[in-house]
Amino acid sequence: MNDTVALLQKFNAHPDSRCWYVAWNPKGTLLASCGGDRAIRIWGREGDSWECKTLLQDGHQRTVRKVAWSPCGNYLASASFDATTCIWKKKNDDFECLTVLEGHENEVKCVAWAPSGNLLATCSRDKSVWIWEVDEENEYECVSVVNSHTQDVKHVVWHPTQELLASCSYDNNVCVYKEEDDDWECRATLEGHTSTVWGLTFDPSGQRLASCSADCTVKIWKECQPEEGTDAAWKCVCTLSGFHGRTVYDIAWCPLTGALATACGDDGVRVFKEDETADPDQPAFSLSAHVPKAHTQDVNCIAWHPKEAGLLVSCSDNGEIAVWNYQSGV
């Protein structure tokens, strides 16, 4: 491993509670974090450090599990264990709660915007995935409820350019959805993990999907050309095993460099690099950098900066956020 991950800054983002998730806005000028303290914090860069610009703490009654920026950067969605999703509108340096999306029976585990900004997906412990449509008046309507998982749905992620959605679950599976005749349907179920699948990320092209699991592995799935009259199939083309000591909670594919980063329950942050000489149908990834004690407790999330290659953040059960600089030796 000639590559390095250097710590730039570490700060206590959610005192006395878990920091569950961090998300960059599309320009990379702001960072949103959420936690067990029911709060959302918006961080901005001041010189070489990051400082809290805004505190949002009146939207949810329980833990805020995930936050997601709209593609235009003017809206922030937050998913909570109180069974609701809040939509916040950015107004200068402040945010106001526009609307609260209700309907899930219990904990909402994730929220994600489609690349168009016109669709929103939520998923829940109630085993369902909901698709919401947004109109020009900022009215949100649930247009589809899909029940393709048999257990708690942990994460949803959209394809980077298409209206194609993937979800993962406590049932060990990944589902891929597409709209058909004004309704959303599960078009593929990806089976292979032997325990809960916690996180998903598409590669920059959207042709591959990476999943991470409590079985301590990462799997790379590739979309295959469908036979005539059939749906596109996804097959597992690579499994990364033997690298993680505990559950892999999150995974992120860098849109700028193609590096793959993981957040793990063994307190480590890892970066994997693809062998560009390998057969695309049989990709090979090597561990290029590893920070064994990135945090003192479980690492819950990892996120690459959208504009600065090598800049990434992680957050932990101890309430901390860490900012890192990954440099490739090649």
- The tens digit of pLDDT for each residue in 153-190 reads 999 999 999 999 999 999 999 999 999 888 999 999 99
Least confident of 2-16, 117-131, 154-168, 302-316: 2-16
The CA distance from 235 to 175, in Å, is 12
CATH fold of 4-327, please? Methylamine Dehydrogenase; Chain H (2.130.10)
DSSP 27-73: TSSEEEEEETTS-EEEEEEETTEEEEEEEE-SS-SS-EEEEEE-TTS
User: What is the average per-residue pLDDT within 256-281?
Assistant: 93
State yes or no: pLDDT of 109 exceeds 80. Answer: yes
| Sheet of strand 260-264: strand arrangement | 248-253, 260-264, 269-274, 285-291
Average pLDDT of every residue of the chain: 94
Q: If you average pLDDT over residues 61-70, what whole number do you get? A: 97
Q: What is the pTM of this model?
A: 0.95
Examine the pLDDT at 17 and tell me if it is beyond 80: yes
pLDDT confidence band for 1 (50 / 70 / 90): low
The confidence score (pLDDT) of residue 276 equals 85
Residue 187 contacts residue 162 (beta carbons within 8 Å)? no
Query: Using 50, 70 and 90 to split pLDDT, how confident is the model at 228?
Result: low
Tokens of 293: 């004690």
Residue 233: what pLDDT? Answer: 87
Contact by Cβ (8 Å): 206, 153: no
pLDDT value of position 231: 66
Q: Is 319 left (phi over 0), alpha (psi -120 to 50) or beta?
A: left
| Per-domain boundaries in the chain | 4-327
How high is the pLDDT of residue 127? Answer: 98
Percent over 70 (pLDDT), the chain: 98
